[in-house]
Structure 1
Amino acid sequence: MQTHPDYPQHLAELPHNFIDGVGQTGAGKVRTLRDPATYQVIVELADADRSQVAQAVSSAGHALPVWSDTAPAIRARVLFRLAGLIEAKAGELASVEALNVGKPIGQAKRDVQRAADYFRFYAGCCDKLQGETIPLGPDQTALTVLEPIGVTAHILPWNYPVSTLARGAGPALAVGATMVAKPSESTPLSAIMLAQLGLEAGLPRGAFNVICGPGEIGEALASDNTVAHVTFTGSTATGRKIMQSASKPIAGTTLELGGKSPVVVLADADLDAAADGVVRGIFFNAGQVCAAGARLICARSIHDALVKKVVAKAEALTIGHPLDNPDLGPLISAQHLARVEGFVDRAKSEGLTCAVGGHRACPDGLTQGAFYAPTVFTNVPAHSEIAQQEVFGPVLITQICDTVEQALDLANGTAFGLVAGVYTADITHAMQFARKVEAGQVFINGFLQGGDTVPFGGVKESGIGREKGLAGLAAYSAAKSIIINHRDAS
């Protein structure tokens, strides 16, 4: 296939790593990045090695007193400028994100705008991080001041590189901390571009570093003795390794891990609205979303009617090259395609009913692409692998309930607890479900229709800590207590 006419230009000119305000060629393995829609080579980059990890952390450490002592109002101006530069470069950033990740360009543009919005939101917080006074009596005054935690590490996923980076970098930089980001080895391009824009916006050299490479590089970063906090988004298995690595420097951790999110639809729900929410929740970004609504749990009386609507909408989704803005782009890689296909094949071998999809897709002219058709399995037993494990692809399962209590039991019946949704006209049932479901975020009558100023994070094997909104500032700041004794010495 010929190069797509909207391919971003000059990718070969990007630095491989960004350390102390300077682009560096990696000293590690040379990695080939490919367009997952065509398997065509995009660019080759060299990974960082462990010495460059240490260099990046050292650079962040040297920048820490410079940035933390910068007046909050000045820090705010820098982050506001960074938000503006992201918006000015939005077209280029979105094209790179779409091509590198494989997500439709419309979704990539939304992610870039979200990145700008994160920096703008946290810029507004810089001069509002206030301490408190604590009454101890007439002879003492106690007060707290919020200080930056120190050097922070941000280990990023491949499905939302630019927006996930911004949601951690924004609050870290706002409180005066400095950072080293380690993007996924599959999708490092937008992170490097953002670091360059940060320097242009006025961040001091070393405040925002990017090192690229595989998991070993992330583990080396998390275990560096200078790192005070590690923020990680990715699989539960890798999250456990990151926690172990972070135990070496006794660093704090924020972990946003896997999910198998339930969407419950009760008999009195608006079926059209529910079908729209279910389809959006599982097929957005080809299902490669931690919060994807992978389990549809619905009342027996409406199951077949709702499945019919969902299947019809799934069949109508367009599939194609991400720069052509289809509904679904490719999966991230041929390896991930094989993983998703393995889940589906094993489900079929169990005798489960596949109502639609269940096979690779091949849009016109894209025979080498990692495309998978939107897939729905119906009436899946709760113990089935495909009901319990995160597929991370465009694969939905349905389960049937006869009571609200049974729906709740099914919703809580996995090791995960990231997001949940419920559709019902009965607000009492909705609130009972929201209070009792094991999830960090619950949507009522509008799955994944929220905002990035709302705290986000999971329970159980979906992680620890909260990101987004004002809650996102907590991980990057530490309260210092100061007690003044002013008794009369005489």
Structure 2
Amino acid sequence: MDGLLRDGEGAERVLIDPAHETPLTPFREASADQVSQAVASAASALPIWAATLPTERAEVLHRLADMIARNADDLARIEATNVGKPLSQARRDVGRASDYFRFYAGVCDKLNGETIPLGPDQTALTVPEPVGVTAHILPWNYPISTLARGVAPALAAGATVVAKPSELTPFTALEVARLATQAGLPDGAFNVVTGGGEIGAALAGHEGIAHVTFTGSTATGRKVMQAASSPVAGVTLELGGKSPVIVLEDADLDAAADGVVRGIFFNAGQVCAAGARLICARSVHDALLAKVAAKAHAMGFGDPLDDPHIGPLISSGQLARVEGFVARAKAQGLTCVLGGARVDRPGFFFPPTIFADVPTDAEIARDEVFGPVLVTHLCDDAEDALRIANDSPYGLVAGVYTRGHDTALWLARKLEAGQVFINGFLTGGDTVPFGGVKHSGIGREKGLAGLSAYLAPKSIILNHARPT
């Protein structure tokens, strides 16, 4: 905070390398007092950063984007080791972080207001102002890219930031904050506090916070929303998912298999948007399942720095969670056609696992596993597929594979999801608005839509008499 790296005053935490089950660098978490200090630091920097000319804000964010790109190799190795994701995926995340800052740098001098016609004796105009000090509570599965997708638009809007990375994955957030100071961001404009749930609650409920952006589970999102009600702060919540991928009988099965495998096994299935439910036409189910299983079976494990297909799960607790879901599904008599037991090697590895023809009311079909576990459902036609897809408390993303454009667009309009991919699951860019409906969240991030949370338009109405 205040542009300086300070030791935490809370409990000491020793992180575990998920690929080897060995200790990483120990560190001390922040205290509740340090959360207040960080918010005060951001509040003191707010008038300075908000008054900085838009073109100058853009220059700072462009420099930060360049610095992240120049340090990409080091940042990717830190991310891969800490999270356990394959190095190529970590490099992609670092590149996305740089791109977020570059995209929003280009927006700084384009945040225009508007005039509103009220008649000849009045002039109304709006002025976009930064909302204030913003809190960013981050997940462990995409630490650096999720940090950037919230912090970059906040800074572009002229707001200031206090970020809390997951207690499991703090390192790249601290490094980006250090680079931001070097890039010329005013001291206090970008603060990072480390710690677990208590620190997150203290930050979300702090009276100095104007907006809270949170990515994580639906259960924790509810707690964040409750905490944010104390300062009457706005919230952006990107929460859980159980995303459907619909494959109809006229689909390109090879393309569908590629999309399904990528959608559920990328990052070891630890993705909010993971395509965990394959809803497939009866006539092509077995053929598609064979293709998906063959691709999944060929995926190898290994040290993340060696860039395997699949890295470990984040922790022993997450491994136990996934194992529990799979064991209960087996005990219920569900058919496991691939995987189903942890990998016999050091590290928190779990293989691609598929349950076929699963009842739609089964626990493993309804609850978010957050691991490399796919379930399949059979459907009779597009309407049946839609019914199954929407029968979920979640609504983050969805996928559709069909050669029928009319059918695809009909499904896209009817699916209860914030984002729908047609014939290419999870292939959209980071300039496209992203967010969920139902239990998957509130608000949108990415693209120009991601700015709205950090701006408070002020309306000014000027009454003027006609000249005499």
TM-score of Structure 1 vs Structure 2, range by shorter chain: over 0.9
Q: Does structure 1 residue 368 correspond to structure 2 residue 350? A: no
State the TM-score, normalizing by the size of structure 1.
Answer: 0.95
Say yes or no: does 1:404 pair with 2:382: yes
Residue pairs, 1:306-317, within 5 angstroms: 306-317=288-299
Is it true that 1:327 corresponds to 2:305 in the alignment? no
State the shift of 1:85 in Å.
0.2
Aligned equivalent of 1:189: 171
2:43 to 45, 53, 61: 61
Identity %: 67
Extract structure 1 runs of 4+ deviating beyond 2 A: none
Inter-partner Cα distance in structure 2 for 1:357 and 1:234: 26
For 1:139-154, what aligned pairs fall within 5 Å after superposition?
139-154=121-136
Question: Which residue, out of 342, 357, 371, partners 2:339?
Answer: 357
For residues 321 and 331 of structure 1, what CA distance do their matches in structure 2 show? Answer: 12
Mapped to 2, the partners of 1:98 and 1:293 lie a distance apart of 23
* Deviation, structure 1 residue 368: 2.5
- Counterpart of 1:416 in structure 2 is 394
TM-score by length of 2: 0.99
Aligned to 1:435: 413
SS in 1 for 2:48: helix
**Paired residue for 1:282, among 264, 274, 277?**
264
Q: 1:486: how far off?
A: 1.1
Give the aligned residue type for 1:481.
S
CA distance in 1, matches of 2:175, 2:74: 10
Residue number among 96, 102, 126 corresponding to 2:78 in the alignment: 96
Residues paired across the two proteins, number: 468
- Structure 2 equivalent of residue 377 of structure 1: 355
How far apart are the structure 2 equivalents of 1:374 and 1:104?
15
Cα separation, 1, equivalents of 2:19 and 2:122: 67
Q: Are residues 1:449 and 2:427 paired?
A: yes
1:395 maps to 2:373: yes
Amino acid corresponding to residue 221 of structure 1 in structure 2: L
Residue 439 of structure 2 corresponds to 461
Q: Which amino acid aligns with 1:462?
A: S
Residue by residue over 1:309-348, the C-alpha shift from the partner in whole angstroms, topping out at 9 and shown as x without a partner, is: 0000010001111000001000001111010000000000
Matches within 5 A, 1:154-193: 154-193=136-175
Candidates 251, 257, 276, aligned match of 1:294:
276
Residue 95 (structure 1) shift: 0.3
1:50 to 32, 36, 49: 32
CA distance in 1, matches of 2:393, 2:119: 49
Superimposed CA distance per residue, residues 233-269 of structure 1 (whole angstroms, 9 cap, x where no aligned partner): 0000000000000000000000000000000000000
Q: Output the CA distance in 1 between the equivalents of 2:2 and 2:440.
A: 34
1:341 matched to 2:319? The reply is: no
Distance, in Å, in 2 between the alignment partners of 1:141 and 1:447 is 48
- For 1:110, the aligned partner's letter is R
CA distance in 2, matches of 1:265, 1:489: 69
Does 1:105 pair with 2:87?
yes
Deviation at 1:207, TM superposition (A): 0.3
Q: 2:90 & 2:79 partners in 1: Cα distance?
A: 6
Q: Distance in 2 between matches of 1:179 and 1:132?
A: 27
Question: Which whole-Å CA distance do the structure 2 matches of 1:45 and 1:122 have between them?
Answer: 32
Unaligned runs of 5+ in 2: none
Q: Match for residue 67 of structure 2? A: 85
Superposed, which structure 2 residues align to 1:229-268 within 5 Å?
A: 229-268=211-250
> What SS does the corresponding residue of 1:22 show, helix, strand or coil?
coil
Moved more, 131-140 or 67-76: 131-140
Distance apart, 1:20 and its partner CA: 1.1
